[in-house]
């Protein structure tokens, strides 16, 4: 049986983005969540209305700033909060998180992104969006930006299964995702893909099929989320009617470990759990103890003597 060793710097068996950023920039580098006052085509009626069934009233940007404040003021506020935990010797990556952050005319994008990039000690930019909200013009601009700074465009996929996408009211297909992904990829833009485990009626096999596709696509980074049932959402109503069951912690940990094994070893791992608002979380309540989830993933990978990418081989999953 081959021996797979953990990263000697982090002792982790997966490729943590935080450790990559520290090595790349020579200093701890953290994200500051911002709210650019965007909306979403799945909320304003252009593609759909009501949004994805799990989307919180804050457009899945629970930790983003206050859109009534300027980008500079939100940035300062975020910096202040982070200094309590990490001190001031930091580099920053402003992160446009709430709603769909490419869903606006190009001049608005340029104005907001430039303001964020002009802040002190900023070394990059992260922009979260939907794969069907990237036009050729936007993709060209993002490519230009990524030649100037460390840009990551975060694309919500959630699942490759169109029947689930329809059930959760994503209002785009996997084919739509691939179209947006390829527009950015061929221009050399770093992409971080978001997926969600525990979506209603998805089996473990289906979740692994989604991860297998990510292994094939080899994005720059991945965020693996756990489905959170948030008060006030359509998902919460379904949950209260017992229409689907929450994922239990052991199944989540095992599924995430299987998924990590299928990804390319170089793909950065930005997130391995959900990180929603604890006040409005209805289920799964065990997810509040993030440390236990992350420790459980480390323990399971150790037990298996496995590491990220150990089942990846070229374009084949072995």
Write out the E strands in 219-311. Answer: 221-226, 229-230, 268-271, 281-283
Of the candidates 15, 74, 100, 164, which one interacts with ligand SF4 according to CB under 6 A? Answer: 100
Please identify, using beta-carbon distances, which residue of 165 and 301 lies nearer to ligand SF4: 165
Count of C-beta atoms within a 10 Å radius of residue 47: 18
Q: Residue 43 or residue 104: which is nearer to ligand SF4 going by CB?
A: 43
Query: How many Cα atoms within 13 Å fall on the side-chain side of residue 296?
Result: 18
DSSP letter (8 states) at residue 289: -
Tell whether omega for the bond before 69 is within 30 degrees of 0, i.e. cis.
no
Q: How far is the CB of 43 from ligand SF4 (least distance, A)?
A: 5
Report the residue from 59, 219, 274, 276 that binds ligand SF4 according to the rule CB under 6 A.
59
**35 lines the binding site for ligand SF4 (CB under 6 A):** no
Indicate which single residue of 16, 34, 52, 184 sits in contact with ligand SF4 (rule: CB under 6 A): 52
Q: Which stretch binds ligand SF4 (CB under 6 A): 40-48, 62-70, 184-192, 280-288?
A: 40-48
Pairwise CA distance, residues 317 & 159, whole Å: 18
β-strand 29-34 against 124-129: which pairing, if any? unpaired
Q: Which is nearer to ligand SF4, 31 or 172 (CB)?
A: 172
- Residue selected from 12, 13, 31, 130 as contacting ligand SF4 according to rule CB under 6 A: 130
Q: How many residues does the chain have?
A: 318
180 interacts with ligand SF4 by CB under 6 A: no
> Which residue lies nearer to ligand SF4 by CB, 51 or 124?
51
- Give whichever of 56 and 308 is closer to ligand SF4, judged by the CB atom: 56
Interface size with ligand SF4, residues (CB under 6 A): 12
Question: How near is the Cβ of 194 to ligand SF4 at its closest, in Å?
Answer: 9
Q: Does 99 bind ligand SF4 (CB under 6 A)?
A: yes
Q: How far is the CB of 50 from ligand SF4 (least distance, A)?
A: 8
Judged by phi (left if over 0) then psi (alpha if -120 to 50, else beta), residue 188 lies in left
∠ CA 283-210-299, nearest 5°, is 60
97 binds ligand SF4, rule: CB under 6 A: no
Check residue 139 for interaction with ligand SF4 (CB under 6 A).
Answer: no
- Token pair 């979260």 is at which residue? 128
Structural contact between residues 224 and 275, judged by C-beta atoms closer than 8 angstroms: no
Taking phi first (over 0 means left), then psi (-120 to 50 degrees means alpha), and beta for anything else, what does residue 26 get?
left
Q: Which residues bind ligand SF4 (CB under 6 A)?
A: 40, 42-43, 51-52, 55, 59-60, 99-100, 130, 156
């Amino acid at each position: 049986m081959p021996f797979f060793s953990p990263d000697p710097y982090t002792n982790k068996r997966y490729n943590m983005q935080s450790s990559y950023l520290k090595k790349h920039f020579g200093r701890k580098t953290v994200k500051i969540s911002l709210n650019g006052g965007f909306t979403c085509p799945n909320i304003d009626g252009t593609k759909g209305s009501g949004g994805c069934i799990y989307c919180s009233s804050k457009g899945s940007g629970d930790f983003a700033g206050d859109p009534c404040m300027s980008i500079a003021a939100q940035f300062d506020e975020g910096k202040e909060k982070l200094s309590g935990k990490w001190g001031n010797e930091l580099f920053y990556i402003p992160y446009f998180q709430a709603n769909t952050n490419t869903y606006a005319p190009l001049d608005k994008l340029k104005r907001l992104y430039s303001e964020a990039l002009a802040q002190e000690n900023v070394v990059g930019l992260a922009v979260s969006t939907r794969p069907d909200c990237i036009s050729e013009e936007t993709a060209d601009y993002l490519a230009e930006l990524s030649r100037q700074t460390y840009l990551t465009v975060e694309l919500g996929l959630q699942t490759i299964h169109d029947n689930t996408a329809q059930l959760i009211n994503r209002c785009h297909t996997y084919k739509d995702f691939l179209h947006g992904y390829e527009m950015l990829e061929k221009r050399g833009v770093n992409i971080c893909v978001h997926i969600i485990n525990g979506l209603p009626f998805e089996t473990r096999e289906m979740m692994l099929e989604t991860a297998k596709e990510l292994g094939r696509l080899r994005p720059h980074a991945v965020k693996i989320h756990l489905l959170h049932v948030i008060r006030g959402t359509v998902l919460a109503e379904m949950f209260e009617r017992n229409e689907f069951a929450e994922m239990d912690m052991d199944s989540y940990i095992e599924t995430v470990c299987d998924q990590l094994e299928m990804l390319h070893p170089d793909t950065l791992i930005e997130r391995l759990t959900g990180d929603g608002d604890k006040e409005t979380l209805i289920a799964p309540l065990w997810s509040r103890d993030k440390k236990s989830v992350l420790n459980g993933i480390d323990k399971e990978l150790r037990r298996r003597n496995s590491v990220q990418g150990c089942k990846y081989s070229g374009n084949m999953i072995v």
